Structure 1
Amino acid sequence: MDVAAPMVWGQIISIGLLALALGLDALSLGLGIGMRGIRKRDIALISFIIALFHVLMPLAGLWMGGYISLMLGKVATACGGVLLLLLGGHMVVNTLRKEESAGYNPSTLWGMLLLAFSVSVDSFSVGISLGMFSGDVWLTVLMFGAAGGLMSVAGLLLGRRVGSWIGEYGEALGGVILVGFGIHFLL
């Protein structure tokens, strides 16, 4: 029996939970955009771009976090935990404010890129935090990309059919999960 197997599964579960937490932004925004009406071709394209951003942004963050980790050592772990706490808290506060953002057209290239960037920016920051710890980089970014892409498809398709009752709470749930990981890293 391999002793490392529980550690590998623990890493997969942890990364999977983070990927789901980060993907909740894509689900939430997808619900809102889907409720306005969107073509299936645009759903596929938006979801692909979001998945790509959910791979590239944390990958860049992981590389930066690895470099910061070499420079700072154990202080980097605490910084990563604080960063996750701040990101999660920000997501929860944004949900509680319930501010309406200005409308834009998500079926244009710039609209798709703006949407993908907005739901992936927290993936970059989480990538920095995760880069301060040892872990499988490709597993992490591929799980982030898969979760972001699949959750955006789900959000856009569900948004075409249901009301906004899930959308406003998705970001808050993702924020609570990030806060939990931040506390874990600090302890």
Structure 2
Amino acid sequence: MGLLELFLIAVGLSMDAFAVSVCKGLSVRTLKAKHAVICGLYFGGFQLLMPLIGFALGVRFQSLITSIDHWIAFVLLGLIGANMVRESREHDDESVSDSFRFMTMLPLAVATSIDALAVGVTFAFLQVDIVPAVSFIGATTFVLSCIGVKIGHVFGTKYKSRAELFGGIVLILMGLKILLEHLGFLG
């Protein structure tokens, strides 16, 4: 997997965290650097941890399903992406708390990184060098989450659904690319 592909996956995975960070930015009256850093650390940390856990699970079961790994990658990334696209079209009015406490941030970090767990399983099947990959994903999510808090504070909710839509489309396209490569349609 090349750097460009990894970057696109990292950005795609970061979009949920970015969207939540935008909402967090909306909720603060006076934006402080610590708000962005807290979001970045929670979301980036979980986006690093979850694919690592998924990778460990994938490695354990790899010998059982090597012959269908490209289909698994295609289905997992496609489902995750489709879910993100669907969520981008929903117009629910979430009540956004200005709390950056552990009990508020932890469930948000877990919820926004579940898709990264599935990507970690996919990485095991593709034999990706996991430590640099998850470090890159975590760092990308950290940066985008910090930016999201600022954007949310400055521009409002207008970018939330677009971010989720973009992330979902990227993941669907990456899954399709993996499938087409394994079926011999792409070199």
Alpha-carbon separation, structure 2, partners of 1:99 and 1:65 = 35
1:26 paired to 2:50? no
Q: Normalising to structure 1: TM-score of the pair?
A: 0.88
Equivalent residue for 1:152?
Answer: 145
Report the CA distance between 1:105 and its aligned residue. 4.9
Q: CA offsets per residue over residues 21-57 of structure 1, 9 Å max, x none?
A: 1112221111111011154323212211211111110
Alpha-carbon separation, structure 1, partners of 2:88 and 2:35 = 26
Alpha-carbon separation, structure 2, partners of 1:132 and 1:34 = 37
2:172 is paired with a residue of what secondary structure? helix
Q: How many residues in Structure 1 have an aligned counterpart in Structure 2?
A: 178
Alpha-carbon separation, structure 1, partners of 2:61 and 2:5 = 22
Q: CA offsets per residue over residues 122-172 of structure 1, 9 Å max, x none?
A: 111111112111121111100110011111000001211112211111011
1:133 paired to 2:126? yes
The structure 2 residue matched to 1:36, chosen from 27, 31, 36, is 27
The structure 1 residue matched to 2:103, chosen from 110, 129, 143, is 110
Moved over 6 A (4+): none
Alpha-carbon separation, structure 2, partners of 1:56 and 1:93 = 25
- Asked if 2 retains the 8 angstrom alpha-carbon contact of 1:89 and 1:179, the reply is yes
Alpha-carbon separation, structure 2, partners of 1:165 and 1:102 = 16
Report the CA distance between 1:99 and its aligned residue. 2.5
Q: CA offsets per residue over residues 86-131 of structure 1, 9 Å max, x none?
A: 1100110111122234544541111111121121111111111121
Q: Normalising to structure 2: TM-score of the pair?
A: 0.88
Gaps of 5+ in 1: 1-9
RMSD of the TM alignment (CA)?
Answer: 1.6
- Asked if 2 retains the 8 angstrom alpha-carbon contact of 1:53 and 1:120, the reply is yes
Gaps of 5+ in 2: 181-187
Equivalent residue for 1:11?
Answer: 2
